[in-house]
Structure 1
Amino acid sequence: MAPYVQGFLPPYKGAMATVCGMTYARAAIFYLSDYGHDVMIQQYQLDEVTSTVLPPLVVSTIVQVINQPIVRATVTLQDPSYKHPNVWSCIKHIYNTHGLNGLWHGTTAGVLKTVPKYVTAIAVKDYAERSLPKPDRNSRTYDRDMLWRSAVKSSMAGIAGAALTNPLDVIRNEQFKTDFGLLKTTRSLWNELGYKFMIRGLGKNMIAVALPVGVTIFCTDMLIHLSQSSQQ
């Protein structure tokens, strides 16, 4: 039984830290972005573009900086050349090897990847919310139509966010492997792969990024719809 367990453990190393970190991060970004949008529109009478872009820009930057040590540790943990049993052990190794700054190595690429992803996803979500036709409340298929509308909106947002930031995801992960700076890592990838580095791992990124973002938006929409339906 032991070999079976050992054979299946490595893909899930650091899974709990990743799940917890990403769950609170997405919850904070989507909730505070919507809240900030409403405050900026209603209280400060700012324009729609500023109210849509500024809240996720600020919130996702703060969240990424806070999460960076966990992100660095979980990515490093998946490298077979490292034999650390858990995220905390990996964080201590990075700190002892590279100092405090090492825990935030790759932050620039991480911010450049994460912030545009959520800004784009939220902007596309809000655009779709304004543009997609709303089902007739008196229709017998109203609930089903709302389900499909939410599915289209969440898919648009998730795919747009993932596709835009895929090159930065490649650069960030390469930084963790090499400990090179942002520009040196980008030049190295370009010299090795040319423009193809920008689409490397795009399929996996669609699953790792587009799917969770889309599901988060979809589930949020459904909860709001159910809450509104119960109040009527």
Structure 2
Amino acid sequence: MTIDVLLVDDEQLIRAGLRAIVDSEPDLRVVGEAGDGAEVPGLVSRLRPHVVLMDVRMPAVDGIRATEHLMSTMDQPPKVIVVTTFENDDYVYDALRAGASGFLLKRARPEEIVSAVQTVVHGESLLFPAAIRRLAARNTPGSGRDRLAKAGLTEREAEVLRLMATGQSNVEIAGTLFLGVQTVKTHVGNVLSKLGARDRTQAVIRAFESGFVDPA
């Protein structure tokens, strides 16, 4: 499978660097570029990328609004990875809440960028869980009270969600709980369905914000 990537950044130099990295991989290719979030809906509808590398701060329509639009108007939106200068940028957490699957720093190494794209497409682990926890700790009340009870998670599904929040992959969760990988995939799918989450990142964000998992 070739992963199609759309680049969205108001700095042409950044886009050129990302294009060189993405196009150097045999299983990745850049299918388009945009200089502002306002261009994203039309390009995504036409090009159908699997992943959008989205600058979080842009002059007209920023990455948060562009991500919200994709998630609210498309039945099968692409995965969004927001690209930022600083990992403690509160805009990043807002983008994750809006539906982004992860984030990258603009100074990330080429292999980190490639790995990030592959990770969000395959969806079997969380991208940079420690950094997401730090952002969540700053942006959620951290009441510690479980408000996910209405979701009806089983005890095993709750265990799986807690391990997802630590960044464990399906294989790692299987080893921790002494389960088969396929069984873990089933539990993860049930967790996403019951929480109404598009992917692992959204499920973990909801776990943090509900107090079900303490990000601190």
**TM-score over 0.5 for the pair:** no
User: Structure 1 length as normaliser, TM-score?
Assistant: 0.22
| Structure with the higher helix share, 1 or 2 | 1
